[in-house]
Structure 1
Amino acid sequence: MKEIFPDPIQKLPEADIPLDGIKAYLSQGKDHQILFMKFEKDVELPEHSHQSQWGIVLEGKIELVIDGERNIFEKGDRYFIPAGVKHHGKIFAGYTDITYFHQKDRYKVKSRC
């Protein structure tokens, strides 16, 4: 498969996200983060909450249960999770998105050890 993210995105630092089979590039703002994420494996997301999150699906499929409501999002769909709202779900292999977190410290840069 052709790389979905262009070179300038791939040159961003990688985000340290504790999930197996993910590659995420991190663009850091003063009060937010934007992640460019792609998943090679299915991933179960445990229930959690944080500051608001907005995402747009570029490829694949994600199932999100947001505040008790089950949703399936696919290519071209957008989703929004308000601050503090509990959510969980499943990300399917091949999923790619751009996600905005209204939180400057949601993820750290992955160390290059």
Structure 2
Amino acid sequence: MDNIFPEPITKLPVADMPFTNYEAYISQSENHQIIFMKFNEDIELPEHSHESQWGIVLEGKIELTINGITNIYTKGDRYFIGKGIKHSGKIYSGYADMTFFNEKNRYSTK
């Protein structure tokens, strides 16, 4: 899992997220963010909603409950969460992904 992201990604601004033991880098545009994330411990995601989100799993696994339906996503899987759809989940240690958030202020930088 070390060095999953190449230098052009790790030189992006670091995302300030409400978790511990993670790395996350933001590619910022006028109206959306793409976040490259990897986690080194299990994380519980409480139920929440926001603008639409699309992600692709690069390593490990994530369990997501989207609109009441639970699935486990692993390397190569994609998921989509529509605007305002309630979702929750669990990120497992070793997980890495690339996620598109259809909002420009989902996360700030450190």
> How many residues get paired?
110
CA shift for structure 1 position 2: 3.9
1:59-81 C-alpha deviation (Å, 9 max, x unpaired): 00000000000010000000000
> Residue 38 of structure 2 corresponds to which residue in structure 1?
38
> Residue 72 of structure 1 corresponds to which residue in structure 2?
72
Would you say 1:29 and 2:20 are equivalent positions?
no
> Residue 55 of structure 2 corresponds to which residue in structure 1?
55
> Residue 12 of structure 1 corresponds to which residue in structure 2?
12
> Residue 91 of structure 2 corresponds to which residue in structure 1?
91
CA shift for structure 1 position 23: 1.0
Q: In structure 2, what is the Cα distance between the partners aligned to 1:106 and 1:22?
A: 17
Q: Which amino acid aligns with 1:90?
A: K
Could you tell me the TM-score, scaled by structure 2's length?
A: 0.98
CA shift for structure 1 position 21: 1.6
> Residue 102 of structure 2 corresponds to which residue in structure 1?
102
Could you tell me the TM-score, scaled by structure 1's length?
A: 0.95
**What runs of 5+ residues in structure 1 fail to find an aligned partner?**
none
The 4+ residue runs of structure 1 with deviation greater than 6 A are none
Q: Which amino acid aligns with 1:48?
A: H
Q: In structure 1, what is the Cα distance between the partners aligned to 2:20 and 2:93?
A: 11
CA shift for structure 1 position 50: 0.3
**Superposition RMSD in Å:** 0.7
